[in-house]
A = this chain, B = another copy of it.
Amino acid sequence: MKMLIIATLATVAPAPKYVTPTDIVGKAPASAWRAIPAEDLLVVDLKSGARVVIQLAPGFAPVHVANIRTLARAKWWDGAAIYRVQDNYVVQWGHNEGLKLPAGIVTKPPAEYDRAIAELKVTPFPYRDSYAPRAGFADGWPVAVQAGRVNLTHCYGYVGVGRNLSPDTGTGGELYAVIGQAPRQLDRVIAVVGRVISGIEAMSSLPRGTEALGFYKERSSEVPIASARLAADMPVAERPTYEVIDTGSATFAAYVRKRANRRDDFYIRPAGGVELCNVPVPVRLAK
């Protein structure tokens, strides 16, 4: 008796009368997909062999993302490590004990926590958000909207820039990825610079650090990083290439509604709503 339990999108072989969110994305026309520029892909290879791919968000944090590109090109993270894993919160990496920054780094970036709404076309999110009066999607990213400003949201897998007390905003050398319930209290307090689009499980399944805030007690527990490169700097044949759904498309609108209203022989009662961070923006490997 193999049990098929608490089904996700793909399970329980729904009768044809039911449409799943995955069905909707699977039938998206080619025009609903956008190539992710190779300059926006940070490929982090752990020494273990696991690969984590991060999509950068230059439209939201241009100076921090420029720093990250400079750091990648200087091979600054080669030999860095994951040194903090806090359950239901974040995985963090870099050079915790400090390492000289390469030339070209902006050492005091501006507070790229949000941007003016007039600069962006925001597709409204049709459900309630607990943190902002309005939410939405812009350029393939989930956003919250308030006081005429738009900010990226701290959803699962999203990547932010570690910093010390304000007005320090961090350089981008110390990064973290969310591995638990969306810590949206960090929105507009930290620069969000991207999201993990592949390999998050290589981070989320790491042993938790036992020191305060999930720092590893022993250096020997740290998880070494072999290299971090922009896809644009890799040989073309070796580059991973990805596409992201157009969040302004009809496909995406239908997907959002279906995420909020699942109904099949397992989902007996559609929720009628959904949390912004429970609507992951579909990304796929390009063919």
Contacts and interface: CB of A to CB of B under 8 A. Distances in A.
A92 interface: yes
Interface string A160-182: 10111110001000101000111
Contacts of A97: 1-2
Contacts of A128: 128-130
A126 to B, nearest CB: 11
A264 to B, nearest CB: 9
A23 interface: no
A220 interface: no
A186 interface: yes
A88 B156 contact: yes
Interface string A87-131: 111101000111000000000000001000000000000011111
Contacts of A278: 130, 181-185
The interface centre, meaning the residue of A2, A97, A170, A278 with most chain B CB atoms within 10 A of its CB, is A278
A32 interface: no
Contact of A90 (B3, B6, B170, B273): B6
Given A5-B162, A12-B165, A87-B201, A276 B186 contact: no
A94 to B, nearest CB: 8
Interface string A120-159: 0000000111111000000000000000000000011100
| Chain A interface, >50% SS class | loop
Interface string A63-91: 00000000000000000000011111110
Contacts of A98: 1
A7 interface: yes
Given A265-B165, A278-B181, A278-B183, A132 B273 contact: yes
A139 B176 CA distance: 36
A164 B213 contact: no
Ranked nearest first, the 9 interchain pairs of A and B with the lowest CB-CB distance are A5-B162, A1-B98, A130-B275, A201-B208, A87-B201, A128-B128, A165-B265, A166-B268, A156-B181
